[in-house]
């Protein structure tokens, strides 16, 4: 009975699939690039940023769910994170050139190894000859030629094509202060925070911080390979700087309240997970015991909160690697 019902269905699906595939295969080379519709927002005298959606990466958003920034110097741009794909990077450059001028991108500086933040690297390397500064962990965890990380699996062909994994040219394990294209920058490593190796960029002259994913707002963070303690000390390091504008890795709040949600989320996570553990709650009950109702209405709560709490429990129970 089941067979009879399924077979005709399969037959017709196969037929339509064949039709679609053959029509698509012929047109693949000509399909237009994914349109990111990127609009740079001026956030400071010499800084323009692109703000992505408060979503996980999907075929529909093309990975445009991350924030990236252009810093304009004397005769070139310095870039903070390059976004989820070659095509995103190319369109970001075209968009920023129109409003801020057509200068080459000579330096790329990266916040951390999650691939929504740096798969635009090869556009800036190939087209602009940019030097890439970032965490050494990219070189260790993303082998050249293995195009199989999250964006490659998620994005459509017309968004991801042209994207290649390339390695960072330089990394720093200590805070480095440098002047690039006339702009003073401070690149600060904080160790394991949101990921295995995180950095933020401080611009002392205009009091701007580019925080990467150490700061998010309007949505729940993803602590899948980070550390609650590491996040809290990174947030302390960020807030010990004299800043007036802060660009989160994801989120739209950039004024002095930009870090409030992250500080609150990790402070409450620590307090409540530890309190629950003191009360004898074990790994099977911890998610239920720490709902953090203050954050229930934030984007991605249903998707990420439970795994963040499970991860926090592991961290406080036995430490992270």
Among 72-80, 88-96, 109-117, 139-147, which window interacts with Zn ion (CB under 5 A)?
109-117
276/295 Cα distance (integer angstroms): 18
Q: Which is nearer to Zn ion, 261 or 276 (CB)?
A: 261
How far apart are alpha carbons 246 and 258 in whole angstroms?
6
Q: Which lies closer to Zn ion via its Cβ, residue 72 or residue 114? A: 114
State the DSSP string of 255-289.
STTTTHHHHHHHHHHHHHHHHHHHTT--TTTHHHH
- Using CB atoms, what's the residue nearest to Zn ion? 114
| Minimum CB–partner distance for residue 112 and Zn ion (Å) | 6
Q: Which stretch binds Zn ion (CB under 5 A): 101-109, 113-121, 147-155, 276-284?
A: 113-121
Selected binder of Zn ion within 114, 125, 219, 311 (CB under 5 A):
114
Smallest distance, Å, CB 222 to Zn ion? 6
Q: Which is nearer to Zn ion, 180 or 234 (CB)?
A: 234
Out of 81, 113, 115, 213, the residue judged to bind Zn ion by CB under 5 A? 213
Half-sphere exposure of 98 (CA within 13 A, CB side): 9
DSSP string covering 44-63, please? ETTEEEE---SS---TTTTT
Q: Assess contact for 235 and 259: CB atoms under 8 A.
A: yes
Cβ-based nearer residue to Zn ion, 114 or 298? 114
To Zn ion, the closest distance from the beta carbon of 193 in angstroms equals 10
Token digits of residue 75: 């005769």
Among 59-67, 110-118, 127-135, 238-246, the segment contacting Zn ion (CB under 5 A): 110-118
């Amino acid at each position: 009975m089941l067979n009879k019902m399924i077979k005709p269905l399969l037959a017709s699906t196969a037929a339509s699939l064949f039709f679609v595939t053959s029509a698509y295969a012929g047109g693949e080379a000509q399909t237009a690039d994914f349109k990111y519709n990127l609009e740079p927002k001026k956030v400071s005298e010499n800084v323009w940023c692109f703000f992505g959606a408060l979503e996980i990466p999907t075929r529909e958003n093309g990975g445009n769910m991350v924030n990236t920034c252009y810093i304009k110097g004397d005769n070139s741009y310095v870039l903070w994170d390059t976004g989820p794909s070659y095509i995103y990077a190319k369109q970001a450059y075209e968009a920023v050139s129109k409003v801020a001028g057509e200068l080459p991108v000579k330096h790329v500086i990266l916040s951390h190894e999650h691939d929504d933040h740096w798969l635009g690297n090869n556009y800036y390397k190939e087209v602009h000859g940019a030097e890439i500064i970032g965490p050494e962990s990219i070189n260790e965890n993303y082998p050249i030629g293995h195009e199989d990380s999250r964006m490659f699996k998620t994005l459509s062909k017309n968004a991801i094509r042209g994207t290649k994994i390339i390695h960072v040219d330089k990394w720093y394990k200590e805070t480095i202060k440098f002047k690039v294209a006339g702009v003073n920058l401070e690149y600060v490593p904080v160790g394991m925070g949101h990921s295995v190796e995180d950095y933020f960029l401080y611009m002392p002259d205009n009091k701007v911080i580019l925080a990467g994913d150490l700061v998010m707002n309007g949505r729940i963070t993803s602590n899948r390979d980070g550390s609650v303690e590491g996040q809290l000390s990174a947030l302390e390091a960020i807030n010990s700087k004299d800043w007036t504008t802060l660009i989160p890795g994801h989120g739209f709040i950039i004024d002095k309240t930009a870090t409030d949600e992250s500080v609150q989320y990790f402070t409450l996570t620590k307090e409540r997970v530890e309190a629950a553990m003191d009360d004898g709650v074990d790994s099977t009950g911890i998610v239920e015991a720490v709902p953090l109702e203050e954050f229930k209405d934030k984007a991605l709560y249903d998707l990420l909160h439970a795994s963040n709490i499970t991860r926090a429990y592991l961290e406080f129970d036995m430490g992270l690697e």
